[in-house]
Amino acid sequence: MKVHDEFNMSMRKFLKQVGVTSQQAIEKAVREGGPSAGKTFKVKAVITIEELGLDHVVTGEIQGHD
């Protein structure tokens, strides 16, 4: 396997872990936070790689549910 392929595989594995664990944490917080129907939650995700000086921020909104 080429170095580039190994990099892509490790990055995809990390991003999958971020997606799955983040979704679980958000769902739990919404469940435990009480009724959320009609509410909009502001959300921010930060990816940091200290060795590369990377601080990547993604912001958005999540709609509550019944």
Count of domains for the chain: 1
Q: Tens of pLDDT along 12-65? A: 999 999 999 999 999 999 989 989 988 999 999 999 999 999 999 999 999 988
Closest CA to 42 of 57, 25, 58, 61: 61
Residue span of the structural domain in which 28 resides: 3-63
Q: Which tokens sit at 49?
A: 């790689």
User: CB-based contacts of 24: which residues, under 8 Å, 6+ apart?
Assistant: none
pLDDT band at 4 (very low <50, low <70, confident <90, very high): confident
Q: What is the pTM of this model?
A: 0.82
- Say how far apart CA 64 and CA 35 lie, in whole Å: 8
Identify the pLDDT of residue 2.
Answer: 80
Q: Indicate the residue type of 51.
A: E
